[in-house]
Amino acid sequence: MYTSILRCGVRDPCLTQDSVPFVVTIPDLDPGTVYYVIVAGVADPGLATAQCGFTVAVSGPGADVVNVDFDAGPDVSIGEGESTQLNATGGVGYTWSPTSGLSGSSIPDPIASPVSTTIYEVTTTVNDCIFTDQVTVDVLRLIQPPNTFTPNGDGKNDLWAIPGMADYPGAVVNIHDRWGQRVYSSNGYREPWDGTNDGRVLPDGTYYYHIQLNQVAGRSAPYTGFVSIIR
C-alpha cells in the first residue's frame, strides 16, 4: 500500500472555512496509465485554483500523485545494533523525522541505526505542495537467551541452549554470579553452558550474562540479562 499526503496552502488565509470530507472509490485502473484528480475553486469549477487549503490522500497499489514520483523507499528489517541506508527518491529537499538514529535529517539517503522499530517520515516540497511518505525500520532481536534452565541431569533442559547462537561462531559469552565473579567464559558457543564453573556444580540462583555476537558485518550492541539455575 502506497500513501502520499498532499497539502497545498494559499498565501491569504480563508476568512471562512468548512470541512466536507468525502471518499471516492473507483474500480481497478489500467496499469501504466495517468489519471487526474482535480480540486477546483467554486468561482470557476474545473479551472480556477482552490481558494482554501486542502488535503488529498491517494492510496492503493502503485498509486502516485500526478507529476510527482516521490517515495521513502521500501520497509526494511535489521538486527539489533545494525544499520541500514534509507533512500528517498523524487522531490527537492528532504526533512526526516524523528531524527533519532539517523545520520542526517535533510538528505535523501541517511544511515538509520534505531535501537528499536521506528517509523521514519520524510517530507519534500514540489510546486509549493508538501508531500509526505513513511518507511518502517523493523529492529529484530537476533538471539533469544532463555532466562532459566534446569541442569539436574534428567536430560531435559540441562543446558543453557540459546537459539540462533550457531549463526555467530565468533560470539563471546561471559557469565557472572551476583557478586560479580565470572563463572563461565567462552569464545564461540559450541558447547552450551551446563551450570558449572570449571567442573564445579554451581548453586541454584540468578546469574548475569554478557554476550557479544561479533558479526562479520560489525559488532552489534551486546546482549545483557540474567539466567536462573533451578534444579
pLDDT for 174 beyond 90:
yes
Which pLDDT band, with edges at 50, 70 and 90, does 50 fall under?
Answer: low
Instruction: Express each pLDDT in 123-153 by its tens digit.
Output: 987 666 778 889 999 988 788 899 999 999 9
Please give the model's pTM, rounded to 2 decimal places: 0.53
- Supply the pLDDT for residue 71: 85
- Supply the pLDDT for residue 99: 95
- Supply the pLDDT for residue 105: 94
What domains can be seen in the chain, in order of their start residue? 2-140 (2.60.40.10), 148-229 (2.60.40)
Amino acid identity for residue 99 in this structure: T
Which pLDDT band, with edges at 50, 70 and 90, does 87 fall under?
Answer: very high
- Supply the pLDDT for residue 7: 45
